[in-house]
Chain A
């Protein structure tokens, strides 16, 4: 667990968050806070606003109303986001990690040390010199995790990181996510996969149609969901 010591960006809060596009309200005004510690899984059907919530929280897009508040400034530099389909630069796997480190001003021996460490921990050491774009989708997603891990973020967002992966690659990604969490990084992850949510969540944020419907510890959410929407979703009745 990371300590909420001096200068941490956590806890972070989304306050009255609204996002509108094309005259439609896609995020419909909710509050949510990210605390140090638990793995937060944002759950909900397609179109619930899960990806938008991550992008708003990470500062990639600006809310139409409301605000995102972190406990320390320049929060995005202390976060990382792993996308559903990560963009790999046209260079080697190792150079992709180097690029992320260079942008955080990490150079020389420290850069080499971190690169070697994250490639080893994600099982990519043997592929380090391969062009990143010839790696399989599963390997690319592990490389995206390595690239995110290398900068040692306080908070790691993951946007449906296993949605395009087979079960073996999914398991590899989940193990890496747990390892990153174990090393002290707060995890906030979206998924529409109930099994994955049960495996990874310490707490669940359930979204539906841009609203925050339920926010509860994982055990309680799965055993006794408080809202009809969450009950229907857990029973596999698709909601729209």
Chain B
């Protein structure tokens, strides 16, 4: 009886609670970050997005997740079509052609493609005869992921395209390779990345990308440009001290010192206005979510569900690592938003959908 209630009204209670808290808090933060600026309307719009996102979350939590696999390939094909369409007819914002408009409603097909790619991979796993991944299957899934990732890179939206990588990593982690071998490969991969980076420095990296890396290594490198953002974000977080300056009272945020406060640097607003306590609480909420996913890995009743949870875990972890790491000055500046908190409808909805699915996998663990 309790399980039935959970299934129909709550999904996984802990996941639901955390998601609702984060969405509400995020909407508040976006409003504070846009209050009194020319972006003030975005705060209102985020309220609408939050409503849609919670509805989508409810849908993903309640409908038996196996149903999605029936449409896994179709969704995937649809997302590819949307990615192609955006390359042809997309709207260019901030230098990337990443927005597709259907009448007045705009969305980012890359966000849809991310969810679709994860779903498609899970569907493939479901359809495998022995439901296990060996090298050949890994290659197939990677190809599935590489396709939308490449299309996203063509927009060009480097930041978003890298968010396909955690799904690819989940595939590899999910395959039947021993941990030791994976760690060895991981190490080699890191070395390879460094070599590629060294090569890229002299060939394909754009000046602004080099700038960001230089600034990360030495914030004094360009105090007026990229270094300015990094320094101001750090000042915002640090000046929040233990309890924060209070909602709407962050001077770094409200007086335009913090760059992109409602999108990439929203965690700076959290740090400044809610202090150490608020920041730790937000990170704690994410930690609860991640821990929930990890324990679901053991509980999931089928491999495709388990993979889905792993992929969502990887995505969430990647966003947290890169975004919070950037705001705290631990990683170079990249345009990766913070799940549930950053402004943006497509990302909020796709994240809610995926997290809802992961919760769904847990809540259906006893059903067969």
A binds B: no
Measured CB to CB, the residues of A under 8 A from B are: none
Measured CB to CB, the residues of B under 8 A from A are: none
